[in-house]
A and B are shown apart, each in its own frame.
Chain A
Amino acid sequence: MSVDIYWRIGTHGDQPSLRRRTASRGGWAPVVPGSLAPGVRDGERDGYSYVEHMGDVARASEISGFVGGLLPSFPNTDDPWATAATLAGETTTYRFMIAFQPGFLHPVQAARMTASLQRATGGRVVYNVISGGGGPDQLWWGDRVDHDDRYARTSEFLDVLRGVWDGGPFDFDGRFYQVERAGLPPALRGQPFPEIYFSGSSGAAIEAAGRHADYYLSWLEPFHALAEKFERVRAASDRDPRFAVRIDVLARETEEEAWDEIRRGWENIDPSVLRDATGDSIGWQRSRSFVTGRITDHRDLEVTPNVWGGFHLLRGGPAFGLVGSYEQVAQRLDELIGLGVGAFILAGVPHLEEAYRVGERVLPLLRGHDLRIESPLLEGTLS
Chain B
Amino acid sequence: MARFLITLPIGGDGGRGPRPDFPGFVTDLRRAFGPSDHLAQAGRAAEIAGFGGAFVPFDPEGEESLVVAAGLLRRSRWTRLTAGFHPGVATPVYAAKVTASLQRFSADRLDWWLDVDLDPAVARAQGDFLQGADRYARAEEFLTVAKGVWSEEGYTYEGRFYQVLAGGFTPPLSGHRFPAVHLSGTSPEAYALSARHADVHVFDPDDDIEAAPLPGVAYGVRLPVLARDDESEAWEAARRLWTAGGQAAGTLPDPDPRTRLWHGFPRRAADGPGGRSRSYGPGLVGSFETVAAGIRDYIDRGVGVFFLEATPYIEETYRLGERLLPLLAKERTHVR
Interface residues of B in 17-64 (CB under 8 A from A): 34-36, 40, 60-64
> How long is the Cα–Cα vector from A129 to B11 in the complex, in angstroms?
29
Does B295 lie at the interface of the complex (its beta carbon under 8 Å from any beta carbon of A)?
no
Residues of chain A touching chain B, judged by Cβ–Cβ distance below 8 Å, are: 26-28, 39, 45, 47, 49-51, 76, 78-79, 81-83, 85-90, 103-109, 112-113, 115-117, 119-120, 122, 136, 139-144, 160, 167-169, 177-183, 185-188
Decide: A183 and B73 in contact? CB cutoff 8 A.
no
A-B contact pairs, 19 of them (CB 8 A): A45-B107, A51-B105, A78-B173, A89-B74, A90-B74, A104-B91, A106-B90, A113-B66, A116-B63, A119-B34, A119-B35, A120-B36, A139-B167, A140-B166, A169-B125, A178-B129, A181-B121, A186-B274, A187-B61
**Residues of B contacting A79 in the complex (Cβ-Cβ under 8 angstroms):** 97-98, 100-101
Contacts of B61 in A (CB 8 A): 185-187
With contacts A47-B77, A143-B91 known, is A113 near B127, CB below 8 A? no
CA of A107 to CA of B273 in the docked complex: distance in angstroms? 16
**Nearest CB of chain B from residue A169's CB, rounded to whole Å:** 6
Given contacts A82-B98, A82-B105, contact A109 B11 (CB under 8 A): no
Task: Name the 7 nearest CB pairs between A and B, nearest first.
Answer: A187-B12, A85-B70, A139-B165, A82-B101, A104-B94, A109-B89, A180-B124
- Nearest chain B residue, comparing its CB with the CB of A13: B172
Contact check, A187 vs B13: say whether CB atoms are below 8 A apart: yes
Distance to closest chain A CB from B62 (angstroms): 7
Report A-chain residues with C-beta under 8 Å of the C-beta of B64.
Answer: 109, 112-113, 115-117
Known: A47-B77, A78-B104, A115-B64. A142 touches B127 (CB 8 A): no
Point out the residues of chain B lying under 8 angstroms from A86, CB to CB: 70-71, 73-74, 102, 105
Assess whether B165 is in contact with A140, with CB atoms less than 8 Å apart.
yes
B231 → chain A closest CB, angstroms: 36
A-chain residues with CB within 8 Å of residue B88 when the two chains form the complex: 106, 109
Contact of A50 with B91 at beta-carbon distance under 8 Å, contacts A120-B71, A187-B13 already known = no
The answer to whether A185 and B107 touch (CB under 8 A), given A47-B77, A82-B102, is no
Other 9 A-B pairs with CB < 8 A, given A88-B70, A142-B164: A27-B171, A49-B107, A76-B170, A82-B101, A108-B126, A109-B88, A140-B165, A169-B273, A185-B60
Would you call B321 an interface residue if the criterion is a C-beta within 8 Å of the partner chain's C-beta atoms?
Answer: no
Give a binary string over B263-285; 1 marks a CB under 8 Å from any A CB, 0 the rest: 00000000011100000000000
Write the nearest CB–CB distance from B318 to chain A, whole angstroms: 21
Which residues from chain A contact B163 at a C-beta distance below 8 Å?
A: 139, 142, 144
| Contact present for B71 and A180 (CB under 8 Å) | no
Query: What's the nearest-Cβ distance from chain A to residue B44, in Å?
Result: 12
Chain A residue nearest to B270 in the complex (CB) = A185
Q: Known contacts A79-B97, A108-B127, A185-B12: does B105 contact A140 (CB below 8 Å)?
A: no
Q: How far is the CA of A106 from the CA of B105 in the complex (A)?
A: 24
Give Cα distance in the complex from A168 to B61, angstroms. Answer: 13
Distance (whole angstroms) from the CB of B273 to the closest CB of chain A: 5
Find out whether the CB atom of B126 lies under 8 angstroms from the CB atom of A179. Answer: yes
Across-interface contacts of B171 in A (CB, < 8 A): 27
Identify which of A78, A103, A113 contacts B67 (C-beta below 8 A): A113
Closest-by-CB residue of B relative to A39 is B104
| Interface residue B138 (Cβ < 8 Å from any Cβ of A) | no
Are the CB atoms of A181 and B91 closer together than 8 Å? Answer: no
- A316, chain B: closest CB distance, angstroms: 14
Closest Cβ–Cβ distance, residue B161 to chain A (whole Å): 10
Return the chain A residue nearest B124 by Cβ.
A180
- Among A45, A83, A141, A160, the residue within 8 A (CB) of B101 is A83
CA distance A104 to B145 in the complex (A): 14
A188 touches B89 (CB 8 A): no
Chain B positions 135-172 with a Cβ under 8 Å from a chain A Cβ: 145, 157, 162-172
Residue of B67, B166, B173 ringed by the most chain A CB atoms within 10 A: B67
